[in-house]
Amino acid sequence: MTPNGSAIVAEGLRKQYRQTRALDGFDLTVREGAVCGLLGPNGAGKTTAVRILSTLLEFDGGRAEVAGFDVVRQAAEVRYRIGVTGQSPAVDEILSGRQNLEMFGRLYHLGGTEARRRADALLERFGLADTGGKSVKHYSGGMRRRLDLAAGLIMAPQVLFLDEPTTGLDPRGRIEVWEAIRSLVEGGTTVLLTTQYLEEVDRLADQVAVIENGRVIAEGPPERLKSMIGGDQLDVVVADGGELAAATAIVARVCGAEPDVGHDTRRVSAPVRHRVATLTEAVRALDDAGVAVEDIALRRPTLDEVFMRLTGHRAEQEESA
């Protein structure tokens, strides 16, 4: 559809608010049909990037194309091809779900009949057909988010921006929204998803960009990012929390790296270079020291660990699961 097969191209985007530099040379390319997770802590510039790419915000430097159109000079073209779901559901509370979708359809200049037809189709698709006549204020959180997603899909957009689509939802609502997003991707829509939840990226994204201080510091498929930080992790869970210190010392020596220690989980983790040799040596050393081990295993790193290595701090302030 676009000449170079990229649905989103951002080059050197800069945006300055009074004192803070929100974006500082932000580069990102998302190929058509991909789900790109934009991952970063609060204040890293995620929302600013999404607002610029969805034509909502002027910026100070760089350029951006969405669906092959310049976001500044061809804003109307871009707006016809994108859907946006922000951090809070952007729907009218008094109108019914159906009336909301119909209103947005009219604002896309579809005319009343077509707007109604699409509203009904979307309500059906998002499991809101039965409640379509009710005022949105009687909807649950998950239902609102689904309606909000539906509103972003009236024009079957080429590119969908989802800014923290599940923040503040309970686990059930989160799963509902994830399912809705997955079904969209099957339809070929390109998705740019910002999130603080690594689990969300792990489940949905096939491309990840880690953003910090207004620029992308790492980018690639999740698997590649995971191998970037040194391949597999060694996990040791000790039977007795009192032996955690001893186990930590052994793991540090065997792996040659500072391990991550979870006191609640009695778990010691560190990256390993020589998979089997390290594992064998760790088992032997722990055995020699008389440390009772409940579990020991090699595993792929999580995105959380990738994030820690890249930025030096955790992405999530709160527990996501």
Partner 1 sequence: MTSTTSSRTTAAGGPPGGPPPGTLPISLPARARWAVSDSWTVTRRYLIHWVREPSYIVWGLMYPMVSVLLFGYVFGSAMVVPGGGDYREFLLPGMFGMTMMFGIGNTMMGVTTDAAKGIADRFRAMPMARSGVVVGRSAADMLNSVMDLVVLVGCGLVVGWRAHGSPAETLAGIGLLLLLRFAFIWVGIYMGLIAKSPETAGNLYALLFPLTMISNAFVAPEMMPGWLGTVAAWNPLSSTVAAIRELFGNPGLGGDSWIAQNAMLMAVVWPLVIVAVFLPLSVRRYRLARR
Residue ranges that bind partner 1, judged by CB under 8 A: 1, 17, 51, 54-58, 67, 76-77, 79-82, 84, 86-96, 99, 103-104, 106-111, 113-114, 117-119, 121-122, 125, 135, 151, 153-158, 183-184, 186-189
DSSP 10: E
For partner 1, give the closer residue by CB, 159 or 310.
159
C-alpha 133/C-alpha 16 separation (Å) is 44
Nearest-approach distance from CB 54 to partner 1, in angstroms: 5
The span from the CA of 33 to the CA of 188, in Å, is 5
Beta carbon nearer to partner 1, 173 or 271: 173
Select 151 or 201, whichever has its Cβ closest to partner 1. 151
Measure the CA dihedral 55/34/227/40, to 10°: 30
Q: For partner 1, which is the closer residue by CB, 73 or 263?
A: 73
Closest CA to 282 of 190, 198, 293: 293
* In contact, 272 and 260? CB cutoff 8 Å: no
Q: Which is nearer to partner 1, 155 or 283 (CB)?
A: 155
Question: What minimum distance in Å lies between the beta carbon of 118 and partner 1?
Answer: 4
Let me know if 18 is exposed, middle or buried by CB neighbors in 10 A (0-12, 13-18, 19+).
exposed
Instruction: Give the nearest distance from C-beta 285 to partner 1 in angstroms.
Output: 55
CB 23 to partner 1: min, Å: 13
Nearer to partner 1, 17 or 290 (CB): 17
Class of residue 94 by CB neighbours under 10 A (exposed 0-12, middle 13-18, buried 19+): exposed
CB of 154 to partner 1, least distance (A): 6
Report the nearest approach of partner 1 to the CB of residue 130 (Å): 18
CB 316 within 8 Å of CB 223: no
DSSP assignment string, 165-227: TTTT--HHHHHHHHHHHHHHHHTT-EEEEEES-HHHHHHH-SEEEEEETTEEEEEE-HHHHHH
In the complex with partner 1, the residue whose CB is nearer, 57 or 249, is 57
> At its nearest, how many Å lie between partner 1 and the CB of residue 93?
8
